[in-house]
Structure 1
Amino acid sequence: MLTYEECLEMSDLTPDEISAIAEHEHLNPMIAVALGHYLITHDGEQKIQRFILDDLERAKRCGDRHKQALLTGALRHFIANHPQQNGQRGY
């Protein structure tokens, strides 16, 4: 049986990116890893970026500066590591 860490390593996503997917889609982390991996391997990078942006906007509305900082870092990392994305880069 594979552990969460092993699946995360194979997903090409960071823990913060997986957390954003899990939060946005209301999934447990292991299922979010599977969804993230599927999206990365099936041209779904824009969808993952949208999840992160949606979560970031929610954190801003709630005034959660700590979560904003984590999600901003996740978004920057995602854009840097998935350059085929031409999405919003203002964060």
Structure 2
Amino acid sequence: MLTIDDCRELAELTEEEIDAICEHEHCSEMLAIELGNYLVHSPEGCPRIRRMILDDIEHAEARGDTRHVVKLKLTLKHFCETHPEAVDKALDQ
């Protein structure tokens, strides 16, 4: 039987990255893992996850949640370091 940690590892995402997808998509952790797994393994998926995290940062900034902004920025940094294909300049325009 697979544990939730096994599923995260298969998706190649950290708990914080999964949490950011949950926050963005307003869904359960397991659904976020499934979506994250699909996106990580698709050509345009990593830039989409990066955009989700950026959106979460913008929302946290808008509500003045500085602590959450810092956490999300660290999550984004780690995600971009471990998934360099996430940085697609064309999608940020």
* TM-score normalised over the length of structure 2: 0.88
SS at match of 2:84: coil
* Separation (CA, whole Å) in 2 of partners of 1:85 and 1:32: 17
Query: Matches of 1:12 and 1:31 in 2, distance apart?
Result: 15
The worse-fitting range, judged by mean Cα deviation, of 77-86 and 29-38 is 77-86
Residue 67 of structure 1 corresponds to: 68
Q: Which amino acid aligns with 1:30?
A: M
Amino acid at match of 1:10: L
Q: Which residue of 1 aligns with 2:47?
A: 46
Tell me how far apart the structure 2 counterparts of residues 56 and 87 of structure 1 sit (CA, whole Å). 18
Asked whether the equivalents of residues 7 and 33 of structure 2 are also in contact (C-alpha less than 8 Å), the reply is yes
TM-score (norm 1): 0.90
CA shift at 1:2, angstroms? 1.8
The count of residues paired between Structure 1 and Structure 2 equals 88
Cα separation, partners in 2 of 1:87 and 1:57, compared to 1, 3 Å: farther
1:3 deviation in Å?
1.7
Q: Matches of 2:16 and 2:49 in 1, distance apart? A: 12
Counting aligned pairs with the same residue, the percent is 43
Q: Which runs of 4+ in 1 moved over 4 A?
A: none
Q: Which runs of 5+ in 2 are unaligned?
A: none
SS at match of 1:84: helix
Residues 1:25 and 2:25 are matched in the alignment? yes
The offset of 1:86, in angstroms, is 2.5
